[in-house]
């Protein structure tokens, strides 16, 4: 028998696929074909993103500092401590992908 190697997807790739699914512009089947993954997997990543998205806005994150996890490195030292990071859409997507990599 031939052994098939299991595919390992990066957290960044998973976040990219999940965000595309959350947008709702394309069907899960179309996204699966576009990225070369099974539609069930797309649905699982979408569900995981939606479930973990609320943790982005939790004030209690254990020992992790919220600003250290979300702020671009260039802003970490100059950022006022009482302000939340509200960046542009690409920065927010980058932040979600960064956090997805840390949790997967």
Q: Which tens digit of pLDDT belongs to each residue from 24-65?
A: 999 999 999 999 999 999 999 999 999 888 877 775 555 455
User: Is 4 domain-assigned?
Assistant: no
State residue 34's pLDDT score.
96
Question: What is the distance between the alpha carbons of residues 65 and 82, in angstroms, rounded to a whole number?
Answer: 13
Distance CA 55, CA 24 (A): 22
39, part of any domain: yes
Quick check: is 84 in a domain? yes
Q: Which tens digit of pLDDT belongs to each residue from 63-84?
A: 455 555 555 555 555 545 544 5
Res 82: pLDDT: 47
Q: Is residue 17 in some structural domain?
A: yes
2 assigned to some structural domain:
no
Q: What is the pTM of this model?
A: 0.54
> Would residue 3 count as lying in a domain?
no
Tell me which residue of 93, 59, 61, 65 sits closest to 77, measured CA to CA. 65
In a domain, 1, yes or no: no
Q: How many domains does the chain have?
A: 1
> Measured over all CA atoms, what is the biggest interatomic distance in the chain, rounded to whole angstroms?
61
């Amino acid at each position: 028998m031939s052994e098939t190697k299991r595919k390992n997807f990066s957290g960044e790739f998973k976040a990219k696929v999940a965000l595309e699914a959350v947008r709702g512009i394309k069907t899960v089947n179309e996204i699966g074909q576009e990225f070369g993954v099974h539609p069930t997997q797309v649905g699982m990543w979408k569900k995981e993103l939606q479930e973990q998205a609320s943790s982005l806005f939790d004030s209690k994150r254990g020992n992790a500092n919220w600003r250290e996890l979300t702020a671009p490195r260039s802003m970490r030292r100059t950022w006022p401590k009482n302000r939340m990071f509200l960046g542009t859409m690409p920065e927010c997507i980058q932040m979600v992908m960064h956090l997805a990599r840390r949790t997967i």
